[in-house]
A and B are shown apart, each in its own frame.
Chain A
Amino acid sequence: MTMIFGIALPALLGQLLIGFINGSFYALLSLGLAVIFGLLRVINFAHGAQYMLGAFTAYLLLVHTGIGFWPALVVAPLIVAAISALIERTMLSRLYDLDHLYGLLFTFGLALIIEGTFRWYYGAAGQPYATPQLLSGGTNLGFMFLPNYRGFVVVASIVICLAVWLLIEKTRLGAYLRAATENPQLVQAFGVNVPLLLTLTYALGAGLAGLAGVLAAPIYQVSPLMGSNLIIIVFAVVVIGGMGSIGGAIITGYVLGILEGLTKVFYPEASNIVVFVIMAIVLMLRPAGLFGKEI
């Protein structure tokens, strides 16, 4: 058997893949956070709850209406986006003129309410969500066995991240968004409806979290606390990548997922803290993050 640094190759590649899958979720979630923070200057602590909402919406659609994974992949993020747009319009938008801390406190409170509500109805235990028929089974890659669904998640997340990056960097809407991030007043004076842009941006970020939630449902179980477990790591990813950098958030998400996977192979004891150790080092050496701009 091939060995690398005394580790069997299949074990190494296996952990690399798990890291890549975790990284896919880190990337999707930190992308949404970065988009929201960039324009709204809100640190969206409800992001984990929105991820959980996406997974639960898919689960509830299946249980109550029989709507399966594929339609849910489109419908559930739209529902999460619509709910979030409503919350932004009616509540969050009232806080923009105040200190940024209020937005953080508001979204944190919102997360507690949403998660608490779901815990009340569904308990803390997870609900299983079946892998879609089309993607059941796996493929033997020669060096390892790849469950088809996990391969799909990796590809889907790359496609989604790329699409969002293109939307922001290459389209007219994206130019409005980038310009409004720098100087919202001037963009508004030019005749762009910036309040609407803020609502759409929050809905986009939350929708991405919802989409990640649906993708996660068949891998992890659908549980009220699935988001709060993940979001702490995702915040560390965002801090490492640098707040507000779209490309930085995506790349950092994947790289840290993979690093975490590799740590599981070489020094399993550190795998739970490696992200935070890196965060501490980055904060000491480059407080604005690897891709962030000094504010």
Chain B
Amino acid sequence: MSRTPPERTNGKKPLLEVRDLDGWYGESHVLHRVSLDLMEGETITLVGRNGAGKTTTLRAIMNLLPRREGEIRIDSHDMMKVPVHRTAHHGISYVPEERGIFASLSVTENLMLPPKVADGGMSVEEIFELFPNLAERRNSPGTKLSGGEQQMLAIARILRTGVRIILLDEPTEGLAPVIIQRIGDVLIELKKKGMTLLLVEQNFRFARKVADRFYLMEDGHILESFPTSQLDAKMDRLNEVVGV
């Protein structure tokens, strides 16, 4: 299995750098020498079948795995010794696959929950402008929202915090096409604002609209990475590995 060297743009250092990352759940070794780079303002997408280690990679970056080894750097800062609750303060946050909306908190409370970690986050007004349907439901309990609204809330609450990197785990899963479209628009909007995104996504049609590069994962390994322009040429290979 060959490690593909990441593409570098003009020799600039990546904002998020993962080198030879190994991860374990208890005894089972689930990530094997995973390496990836995320340049500032770039969007990359991890693809692979279920159980390939995509979610685990995100969790390992957020330091939510019981055991991990290797290198993770944000802005050249060594993240391996940073405790979980300090990780976000380096400008990174996470939208989990299950969205993680808190049932005992109202929409507004969910929105205000993640502490500000840096300046430059969006104001609540700006967020409600971007997500008008959340504004209408600001006093409802978080879990009374539809799946799409919950997904938008999960993204929205991070925009307040001033993070520069967002990890998104299957943001379109189980949502209607019109909602997927809406979430795509939001991600493109965020890209325009300079946000750096790491996406886990099975939906290629969705991912190709936002992603600059793809990383293909299988059995806890990164197989290869390629720019979105090569997506069509790689489709046979993707179908073989991902099985869509």
Q: Which residues of A contact B (CB under 8 A)?
A: 172, 175-176, 178-179, 181-183, 185-195
A190 touches B114 (CB 8 A): yes
Q: Which of B93, B105, B112 interacts with A189 by CB under 8 Å? A: B93
C-alpha spacing A187/B109, complex, angstroms = 13
Binding site of A, secondary structure by majority: helix, strand, loop or mixed? helix
- Taking CB atoms, residues of chain A closer than 8 Å to B161 are 190-191
B85 / chain A contacts, CB cutoff of 8 Å: 188-189, 191-195
Residues A189 and B88 in contact in the complex (CB < 8 Å), given A172-B112, A175-B112, A175-B113:
yes
Best-surrounded residue of B85, B93, B105 (most CB of chain A within 10 A): B85
Decide: A181 and B100 in contact? CB cutoff 8 A: no
B96 contacts chain A at the CB level, 8 A cutoff: yes
Known: A189-B93, A191-B85, A192-B85. A182 touches B114 (CB 8 A): no
- Known contacts A175-B109, A175-B112, A176-B113; A189/B64 CB under 8 A: yes
User: Smallest distance from the beta carbon of A175 to chain B beta carbons, Å?
Assistant: 5
List B residues at the A interface (Cβ < 8 Å). 62-64, 84-89, 93-94, 96, 100, 102-105, 109, 112-115, 117, 161
Q: Quick check: A183 and B64 within 8 Å, CB to CB?
A: no
Question: Please, which residues of chain B bring their CB within 8 A of the CB of A194?
Answer: 84-85
* B143 → A minimal CB distance (Å): 10
A183 touches B113 (CB 8 A): no
A176's nearest neighbour on chain B, judged by CB, is: B113
Q: In the complex the two chains form, what is the Cα distance from A176 to B102 in whole Å?
A: 10
A-B contacts at CB below 8 angstroms, number = 57
Cross-chain pairs A/B with CB under 8 angstroms, 18 sampled = A175-B105, A175-B112, A175-B113, A176-B113, A178-B104, A179-B102, A179-B105, A182-B102, A186-B94, A186-B96, A187-B113, A188-B85, A189-B93, A190-B114, A190-B161, A191-B87, A191-B114, A192-B115
Q: A189-B93, A189-B94 are in contact. Are A183 and B100 (CB under 8 A)?
A: yes
Q: Which residues of B contact A195 (CB under 8 A)?
A: 85
* Residue in contact with A182 in the complex, picked from B84, B87, B104, B115, CB distance below 8 Å: B104
Beyond known contacts A175-B105, A183-B102, A191-B86: 4 more, CB 8 A cutoff: A182-B103, A188-B84, A191-B85, A191-B117
Nearest CB in chain A: distance from B43 CB, A: 21
In the docked arrangement, what's the CA distance between A178 and B141, Å?
A: 13
Nearest CB to that of B157 among chain A residues? Answer: A190
Measured CB to CB, the closest approach of chain A to B83, in angstroms, equals 9
Which chain B residue has the least Cβ–Cβ distance from A170? Answer: B109
Task: Provide the residues of chain A in CB contact with B94, threshold 8 Å.
Answer: 186, 189
A291 to chain B, nearest CB (A): 13
Chain B min CB distance to A39 (Å): 12
Residue in A183, A186, A189 whose beta carbon sits within 8 Å of that of B87 in the complex: A189
Min CB distance A35 to B, Å, is 14
Note all chain A residues with C-beta closer than 8 A to B87.
189, 191
Query: Are B86 and A179 interface neighbours, CB within 8 A?
Result: no
A172 CA to B84 CA in the complex, in Å?
20
